[in-house]
Structure 1
Amino acid sequence: MSVDTDFVGKVTFTRLYAAHFQTFALLAMQYVKDMRVAEDIVQDTFLKYWEAPFTLENPQALKTYFGRIIINRSLNHLKREKNLQRHHELIGQEITEQDVFERLHESELQVMVYGEIERLPEQCKKVFKMNRFDGLKYREIAEQLQLSERTVENHIAHALKVLRKNLLEEKSFKANFEKYKSLLLILSMH
């Protein structure tokens, strides 16, 4: 009578999991100091074994083997967390309150620009977006929309005129025009 080694492996796995999950979680917890993370490490370790089971010559060594894997994964988790924390600290040191203010303000100005683009007449808006956002040339736009190149050129010129006028009337935009004129790049390209 032959023994199904896959079945025996799954039974061993199930018994090991049921009998030692909590012990392994407490082992991982000694390193990571967070029970949820510890349980995730143990769960992941068992899942990896379930997906790709292996055979040990001494089945009693399986518990020790899993313990070593869980300790290594716990230490790897701590290394990743430490690197992530160091990375966040470096970013925090590099970004000043002024940087945050400028980025927020820049985002508000971008919203303003895109809002004005959305208010353009439909065909004009479509042509402008195809040119500025999709990078299509006048000829390509004309072919796709079955328009003359001159009509495409007129739509772009009209869009730029309207956008410049409307944005320069906006107090917030006008006050910061020099500082944020990079946002106007899409409006100045011809």
Structure 2
Amino acid sequence: MDVAEIETGSDLITLIEKGQTSIFTRFYTSYFQKLLLASDKYLKDVYAAEELVQDVFLKIWENPYQLVEVKSLKSYLYRAVINASINHLNRQKNIEQHHLKLASTLTDEYLTELDEENEIIVLLRIEIEKLPAQCKKIFKLNRFENLKYKEIAQQLNISEKTVENHIGNALKILRERFLKDSHLNKRAKSYLMLINTFLY
């Protein structure tokens, strides 16, 4: 089958069913630049347009039977690319509106509190790294990877009681270091409540 003979969805389905990738590639090449221009007219971003056009063809290759009733592939391709371009713009618009809405809530007070909260989390992670090796490993598996005591015991070939003891020891050490840390101000100490997933 020649590229010029591929006019309907059925033609392309037959080509793909036979695994004629070289002809499909030529078909893709024959339309690519034109569809790229059509997409870029909307997106004004040639790289995003390239990705979008490639995605349209990839979906056709993966599921050609969506074309079974298509009488004109040319019309179908243009509609698919233009609709995908418009959907892309709509998604971007929604994202931008969401970001603008978030930005309007970023008061100085909020940013100060966020900075203090993040500082405590950084300090906490530093203290976790100072824990004894096995204790640290078990604590991180539990708190960072969400493994249960039984899963940790099986992975490390130790008893669940040993896991429980290491977790308890880690919590004791971390609580003591933070609650006795004189350089943490009252507000900073209050943020310990926000990291209960680590300390309790």
Q: TM-score range by the shorter chain?
A: 0.5 to 0.7
Q: Which runs of 4+ in 1 moved over 6 A?
A: 123-127
Q: TM-score, normalised by structure 2?
A: 0.64
Q: TM-score, normalised by structure 1?
A: 0.67
Secondary structure at the aligned position of 1:169 is classed as coil
Residue of structure 2 aligned with 1:109, choices 107, 120, 126: 120
Residue of structure 2 aligned with 1:169, choices 149, 163, 181: 181
Q: Distance in 2 between matches of 1:8 and 1:125?
A: 54
Equivalences, count:
173
Does residue 1:89 correspond to 2:100, yes or no? yes
Deviations 1:95-132 (A, max 9, x none): 223322322221221222343344345677688x49x9
1:41-190 matched pairs, under 5 angstroms: 41-53=52-64, 54-55=67-68, 58=71, 61-120=72-131, 129=139, 133=143, 144-145=160-161, 152=165, 156=168, 160=172, 163-167=174-178, 168-171=180-183, 173-177=184-188, 179-183=190-194, 185=196
Q: Distance in 2 between matches of 1:125 and 1:64?
A: 61
Structure 2 match to 1:139: none
Deviations 1:125-176 (A, max 9, x none): 688x49x94786xxxxxx62459x9xx5xx958963x5455333341x1343
Structure 1: runs of 5 or more not aligned: 137-142
Does residue 1:32 correspond to 2:48, yes or no? no
Question: Which gives a bigger RCO, structure 1 or 2 (Cα 8 Å, sep 6+)?
Answer: 2
Secondary structure at the aligned position of 1:95 is classed as coil
- Alpha-carbon contact 1:41-1:70 (below 8 Å) kept: yes
Q: What root-mean-square deviation, in Å, do the aligned CA atoms of Structure 1 and Structure 2 show?
A: 4.0
Does residue 1:5 correspond to 2:14, yes or no? yes
Secondary structure at the aligned position of 1:180 is classed as helix
Larger Cα-atom Rg: 1
